[in-house]
Amino acid sequence: MNTIEPPSTISVPAQNSGAPSSRGLIALRWASSEGRPSSSNRKPTLLACLAIFLAANLQAQSPNWQLSWSDEFNAPNGSPPDPAKWNIVTAGDGFGNNELETYTNQPANVQQQNGNLVITAQKEDLTGPDGIPRHYTSARLNTQNRFTQKYGRFEARIQLPTGKGIWPAFWLLGDNHETAQWPDCGEIDILESIGAPNTIYSTLHGPGYSGRMGISAKFPLPAGESVHTSFHLYAVEWAPNDIKFFFDDHLIAHRTPADLPQGTRWVYDHPFYVLLNLAVGGYWPGNPDPTTVFPQQMLVDYVRVYTRKPETPKATLKPGAPRLDSEMGASSEGRPSSPGSASRSKSKPTQ
């Protein structure tokens, strides 16, 4: 399987979410001024403390990316999503998918808690402001008219719910959808799950390839991994005529205009906005059954969006000048270059 190093973290098991990832520990070993591993006589307690500090506090980026927008969901417990960043949708019309929930802005369905955005699906009767009675409630957020971007890396670190009829999603929608109706506006589904603990989907929808005809990739998780026992990083890297989907550090799908059905159009050339939602029921996942447990929760550690840094022209060095290897971050004498922080996720308790 092809892999690349994303600018954020690998998955952290839920039961160990307060511990730093192994990458944080490895990074600390390479600390001597000569570029060699530091000596092994350092006290383990000091190493562990430094690793925890870095994992909790450092947010640096890959040399290829710069952060353009994010939400870390660090507001006090019980706070709603930041209204400067998110709209909360309130409706129960099924959204063309025959969904069974009504989306609300109630704290019971959406709030920040312990450094996470918590979206909760509940089994309860409610008639929403649209007058439609439903037997389930949940939440749906988007950044329409608050944040859009064309191209870049969009990522979220999420722990998903599972169960029959449970349908969480992290996705992008073309910001022109009010004038170019769906699917002409384009849709990029970075992550969808339909209840199974070990399978996710990434899909493109556009004119002539939408709904059941969407260009989709089904990804079975690596052995021992699960969407509901760990936080995982779900991401898309989007460039002109090129879209790559990632699960943690795995490239799971790569799409170009060559993948489209003949005679259809590539419509991923304008700004899109971000959506998060937890649906209940629908044509694709089916409806909950007696095995489905409620409440169900989707925990979002963060959402981050990056733009690609412009390439810096390589300077011509004078004879005898020390050479700086920009990829290794060290000069030819082995000294580290200007320090950049390593991208790490926040250490957070799970729920």
| Catalytic residue set | 187, 192
Q: Which residues contact 321 (CB under 8 A, 6 or more apart)?
A: none
Tell me if 74 sits within 8 A of 85, measured CB to CB: no
Tell me if 237 sits within 8 A of 251, measured CB to CB: no
CA distance 244 to 181: 24
Specify the 3-state DSSP secondary structure of 216.
Answer: strand
CA distance 162 to 229: 10
Residue labelled with tokens 């099924």 = 94
Structure tokens at 315: 């300077």
DSSP secondary structure letter of residue 198: T
> Residue 54: which of 63, 46, 43, 62 has the closest Cα?
46
Instruction: Compute the C-alpha angle 305/145/177, nearest 5°.
Output: 95
> Residue 170: which of 188, 152, 145, 144 has the closest Cα?
188
Angle at which helices 22-29 and 44-57 cross, to 10°: 120
CB neighbours of residue 72 within 10 Å: 18
In angstroms, the Cα distances linking 278 to 168, 180, 292, 296 are: 4, 25, 14, 9
Which pairing describes strands 101-103 and 133-138: parallel, antiparallel, or unpaired?
parallel
- Amino acid of residue 323: R
Tell me if 272 sits within 8 A of 186, measured CB to CB: yes
Structure tokens at 114: 């312990």
